[in-house]
Structures are given as structure tokens and as C-alpha cells.
Amino acid sequence: DAGVIQSPRHEVTEMGQEVTLRCKPISGHDYLFWYRQTMMRGLELLIYFNNNVPIDDSGMPEDRFSAKMPNASFSTLKIQPSEPRDSAVYFCASSFGVYNEQFFGPGTRLTVL
């Protein structure tokens, strides 16, 4: 299995631009998680899905952030408009069943200038 795939690996954009991060979970996994990692706040959960349905989005910082999962093999995290404080590494993770290990993708390093 290829593991969790994220794209792009690096993204540099200017303030005000729209940014879309993509994730392909491991085939057969029914849970998908989006995390953000910063020096100041560490690793924090933004949102997670079960069977493509958003379950808990309480970690989404503000309305500029949105996440979708149109099917079992694809999810996006969109920031519109982006701001310099959104600069972070964004991880996607998936698991089969809620009690099993979460497998993380390699992350997307986002830099907003």
C-alpha cells in the first residue's frame, strides 16, 4: 500500500491567495483526519471525517478554512484567503475504525508570504 498521500509537499503562496491541500487516505480506511503543526501550538486536530461525513470541525480556526471529502479516496483542505499566520505543516491521517492506528501522510509545508 502506498500509505497516505498528500499533495503538494510544499506550497508557497502570497497572502490573500486561495490554497488547496489534498489528501488520499489509505484504501479501505473509514476515518480521515486533518492536523496542523506549528511551533507555537504544536500538533492540533482541525477536522475529521467518518465515511466521508465531517464529524468534528471544532478545531478549524475560522471561516477561511474549509474541508471536504467528496468520496472515500479524496479530501481537500482549503484556505481562502490565506494569511501569513496560516504558515504551518498540514498533515492528513487515516485509520480503519476509530480504535486503530492513525497513519499519517508526509505533510504539506505551507508558507504564506
**Contact pick of 57, 59, 78, 87 for another protein (by CB under 8 A):** 59
**Is position 8 an interface residue for another protein (rule: CB under 8 A)?**
no
106 torsion bin: left (phi>0), alpha (psi -120 to 50), beta (else):
alpha
User: Number of residues in contact with another protein, rule: CB under 8 A?
Assistant: 23
Strands 31-38 and 42-50: antiparallel
| Dist CA 77 CA 88 (whole Å) | 13
**Is position 106 an interface residue for another protein (rule: CB under 8 A)?**
yes
Q: Which is nearer to another protein, 31 or 65 (CB)?
A: 31
Kindly state the smallest distance separating residue 21's Cβ from another protein, in Å: 14
| Dist CA 13 CA 90 (whole Å) | 15
Tell me how long the chain is: 113
Neighbours of 106 (CB within 10 A): 14
Q: Which is nearer to another protein, 80 or 100 (CB)?
A: 100
**Contact pick of 24, 33, 86, 110 for another protein (by CB under 8 A):** 33
- The three-state secondary structure class of 9 is coil
Site for another protein in 66-105 (CB under 8 A): 89, 91, 93, 98-99, 101-104
**Is position 12 an interface residue for another protein (rule: CB under 8 A)?**
no
